[in-house]
Chain A
């Protein structure tokens, strides 16, 4: 009996143990959950640690359902993007895979961790690893071994205007401005004011033979090997995820209309410092943040990302103050800069 008593669990002490164990278990579960969440946020990103070490604040805010205000400034580190211009395969056979943080960030594992910041589940970083057998060349035929989808396109010798003979440019008023003042007469342009990723299918804004059609209808009437897209400024107030989701559908639609065409996603253009600091949603902080998302999105959709923001911005990252009437639409000479940028940043895929 005494043996049984000893073996029988002591209710009092067992109860106390259970009482202490339960909150501990709950705490442990909560801790695991928080840790998992944090592991996907900027606080634990190597880039954040690296940038913080350089005294640059990086935040990946969780945008609200219908964000009308931009997220806080997130300045892309040049080194960060440069690191991701490198191919997955090490250029040097002797280089250890995890010898340093940047190399680790180039790995397939890190590249494909989804980005839980509201900008949908796209690869966290630019530069999707190139597929086996996939090679990239500039428009002039220069090999681009370090390039991959969504990466910064390396600058090469300018191509001639004929390079754009089989190109279509679609987009908003800024693309319309490029049509008017870019000096490119050989390409097809389907652009108009107030075009967005939503109304591009419905707004009959393009005159074709005297009849007005939507941009997508007009695009479908011809055959193009390159499609350049400029959208995003009119949608700067959209939630990022919504915007990219609609953009994704647009890319798919374009690929249905132009199956063999390479897609070039042009970055959103900068606004002037005065506009940016006026409290408007059209500010360069939000634009740069959105452009970061666009670059990652381009990588995901196997499209090229063309950073025309860099072509138009001054040293402070703004559209020059005397460069526009309203701080948004540049004057003619800046479209010439835009065109020059396009001629020097060309890329196409050649499959082995």
Chain B
């Protein structure tokens, strides 16, 4: 009897651990997986290609030290579509600085595309800046329904 109670408690405890572990894993943001799902979702009409962080930083007007990690996917240049993922370092003000850089990037893109390719401006108007734990995400898509469907399981609501 005592043994069976002990076994039941151990089993329950193990189950609880599993549940906690699984839920924690579900919340952990994987930037590569997120990018992969977004690119495969059909949200982007142009070919987005992963670019060196140094070049991405140049286009965003930031330095590589401003974030712990970054991923950039830019278009061929024909469209304003892009995907950027930043992992904030956790230092005070870093998240705000990155948010500001992302917004500035969007504003600059709008001013360029107003004359360069006006049809792209609505995509920039609908651009999404999301958060997932320590990560900040920007995507400028062609199909925002597909994009949000792919992104919802990753981003904080």
Contact = CB atoms under 8 A, between A and B. Distances in A.
Interface string B33-53: 000000000000111010110
Interface string A172-184: 0110110111000
A324 interface: yes
B91 interface: no
A325 B61 contact: no
A331 B61 contact: no
Contacts of B93: none
For the side of the interface on B, what is the size category?
Answer: 20 to 34
Contacts of B115: 194
A180 B74 contact: yes
B112 interface: yes
Mostly, the A contact residues are mixed
Contacts of A123: none
Given A180-B74, A185-B54, A329-B78, A193 B116 contact: yes
A205 B61 CA distance: 10
Contacts of A331: 47, 49, 76
A62 to B, nearest CB: 30
Contact of A325 (B45, B52, B62, B74): B45
A96 interface: no
Interface in B70-91: 74-79
A193 B77 contact: yes
Nearest to B62: A210
A324 B78 contact: yes
Given A173-B77, A324-B78, A210 B49 contact: no
B49 A325 contact: no
Contacts of A174: 77
Nearest to A172: B77
B50 to A, nearest CB: 10
A330 interface: yes
A300 B70 CA distance: 46
Interface string A200-225: 00000101001010000000000000
A165 to B, nearest CB: 15
Interface string B95-119: 0000000000000000011011000
A207 B61 CA distance: 5
Contact of B55 (A180, A326, A328, A330): A180
B59 interface: yes
8 contacts: A173-B77, A173-B116, A176-B77, A193-B113, A207-B58, A325-B79, A330-B76, A332-B76
B77 A177 contact: yes
Interface in A311-340: 324-326, 328-332
A205 B51 CA distance: 19
Given A185-B52, A332-B49, A210 B76 contact: no
A343 to B, nearest CB: 19
Nearest to A212: B61
Contacts of B76: 177, 324-326, 329-332
A325 B116 CA distance: 15
A185 B62 CA distance: 18
Contacts of A176: 77
A180 B59 CA distance: 10
B105 to A, nearest CB: 10
Contacts of B78: 324-326, 328-329
Interface in B100-157: 112-113, 115-116
Contacts of B45: 325
List of 4 A-B pairs having minimum Cβ-Cβ separation, nearest first: A326-B78, A329-B77, A207-B61, A325-B78
Nearest to B109: A193
Nearest to A174: B77
A306 to B, nearest CB: 20
A158 B51 CA distance: 24
B47 A332 contact: yes
A180 B49 contact: yes
Given A173-B116, A177-B77, A210-B63, 10 more contacts: A181-B51, A193-B113, A210-B62, A212-B61, A325-B47, A325-B78, A325-B79, A326-B76, A331-B47, A331-B49
A82 to B, nearest CB: 34
Contacts of B58: 189, 207
A325 B55 contact: no
A207 B49 CA distance: 21
Contact of A194 (B54, B59, B60, B112): B112
A179 B55 contact: yes
A210 B77 contact: no
Contacts of A180: 49, 51, 55, 74, 77
A331 B62 CA distance: 26
Nearest to B113: A193
